[in-house]
């Protein structure tokens, strides 16, 4: 059983998807938010998950906040820390502390459109395929080893809202799958690429293969 700590800043819909997946090999040890008003805290409490707030506004620097956040996380002895709509840029020291056990989901097919406003930028670029990526976090923003991706078509009738909704549905499918693989001990990183043990990769959720199978 792997201990999972999930970080949120808002409603935490990806956190909900992971909790609802009820992964047998994963124990959701805590949900921690940097915002006291984060809607996802209520959902976590209703599911008897420990909830904590480390309010970033109470700290004078990013490093001070990250130190307090790490202390809160480490109290739960996590095997994996999951960023689920956690809207803070983390310091290099924090990322290094959780190297290999810090996971994020990004609303684009990385390496395309890192950073913010991904759906708007995808529409402006005229791409025909957009999507979401689960990746391990490194010091370079949105550039860590890719675990899994899911693609959606971009149609002529799409706007930011409709495209975001399509991508979010895929996020809710692939993030629990990535956490499940980690909890089952099936993921490893070699030479900057993620390898998955014992998988029929093309059949996984109908997603774009982003993993080298063993």
Using one digit for the tens of pLDDT, what is the confidence trace for 123-161? 999 999 999 999 999 999 999 999 999 999 999 999 999
Give yes or no for residue 213 having a pLDDT over 60.
Answer: no
The DSSP call for residue 99 is: T
Q: Is 93 within the bounds of a domain?
A: yes
Give yes or no for residue 210 having a pLDDT over 90.
Answer: no
Q: Is 140 within the bounds of a domain?
A: no
Q: Are residues 79 and 174 in the same domain?
A: no
Q: Are residues 86 and 5 in the same domain?
A: yes
Q: Is 57 within the bounds of a domain?
A: yes
Q: Are residues 90 and 2 in the same domain?
A: yes
Residues 96-100: contacts with CB within 8 Å, 24+ apart?
Answer: 96/139, 97/70, 98/73, 98/137, 99/138, 100/136, 100/189
Q: Is 58 within the bounds of a domain?
A: yes
Q: Is 139 within the bounds of a domain?
A: no
SS3 annotation, 112-165: CCCCCCHHHHHHHHCCCEEEEEEEECCCCCCCCCEEEEEEEECCCCCCHHHHHH
| 186: helix, strand or coil | coil
Q: What is the pLDDT of residues 24-75, one digit of tens each?
A: 999 999 999 999 999 999 999 999 999 999 999 999 999 999 999 999 999 9
User: At 68, which CATH number?
Assistant: 3.40.50.170
Q: Are residues 176 and 80 in the same domain?
A: no
d(CA 166, CA 148): 17
Give yes or no for residue 206 having a pLDDT over 50.
Answer: no
- Mean pLDDT, to the nearest integer, of 183-199? 92
Q: Are residues 213 and 167 in the same domain?
A: yes
Give yes or no for residue 198 having a pLDDT over 90.
Answer: no
Q: Are residues 17 and 58 in the same domain?
A: yes
pLDDT of residue 28: 98
Number of domain units in the chain: 2
**Active site residue ranges:** 106
Residue 103 near residue 81 (C-beta atoms within 8 A): yes
Q: Are residues 161 and 118 in the same domain?
A: yes
Q: Are residues 117 and 185 in the same domain?
A: yes
- Mean pLDDT, to the nearest integer, of 186-203? 80
Q: Is 10 within the bounds of a domain?
A: yes
Task: Name the domain boundary from 98, 120, 155.
Answer: 98
Q: Is 166 within the bounds of a domain?
A: yes
Q: Are residues 29 and 76 in the same domain?
A: yes
Domain with 34, as residue range(s), is 1-98
Q: What is the pLDDT of residues 88-125, one digit of tens each?
A: 999 999 999 999 999 999 999 999 999 999 999 999 99
Give the burial class of 139: count Cβ atoms within 10 A of its Cβ; 0-12 exposed, 13-18 middle, 19 or more buried. Answer: middle
CA-nearest of 57, 130, 132 to 87 is: 57
What confidence tier does 208 reach under pLDDT thresholds 50, 70, 90? Answer: very low
d(CA 130, CA 109): 6
Of 213 and 42, the structure prediction assigns the larger pLDDT to 42
User: What residue has token string 């949900």?
Assistant: 31
What confidence tier does 209 reach under pLDDT thresholds 50, 70, 90? Answer: very low
Q: Are residues 81 and 35 in the same domain?
A: yes
d(CA 76, CA 68): 14
Q: Is 138 within the bounds of a domain?
A: no
d(CA 56, CA 118): 25
Q: Residue 114 has which token pair? A: 């890192």
Residue 208 near residue 150 (C-beta atoms within 8 A): yes
């Amino acid at each position: 059983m792997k201990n999972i700590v999930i970080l949120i800043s808002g409603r935490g819909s990806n956190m909900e998807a992971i909790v609802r997946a009820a992964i047998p090999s994963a124990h959701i040890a805590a949900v921690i938010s940097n915002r006291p008003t984060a809607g996802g805290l209520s959902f976590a409490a209703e599911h008897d998950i420990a909830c904590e707030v480390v309010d970033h506004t109470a700290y004078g620097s990013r490093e001070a906040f990250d130190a307090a956040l790490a202390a809160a996380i480490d109290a739960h002895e996590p095997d994996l820390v999951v960023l689920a709509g956690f809207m803070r840029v983390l310091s290099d020291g924090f990322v290094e502390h959780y190297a290999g056990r810090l996971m994020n989901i990004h609303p684009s097919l990385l390496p395309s459109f890192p950073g913010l406003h991904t759906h708007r930028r995808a529409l402006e670029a005229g791409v025909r395929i957009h999507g979401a990526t689960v990746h391990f976090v490194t010091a370079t923003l949105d550039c860590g080893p890719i675990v899994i991706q899911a693609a959606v078509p971009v149609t002529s009738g799409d706007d930011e809202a409709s495209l975001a909704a399509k991508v979010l549905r895929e996020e809710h499918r692939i993030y629990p799958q990535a956490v499940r693989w980690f909890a089952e001990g099936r993921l490893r990183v070699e030479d900057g690429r993620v390898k998955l043990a014992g998988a029929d990769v093309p059949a996984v959720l109908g997603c774009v293969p982003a993993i080298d199978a063993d």
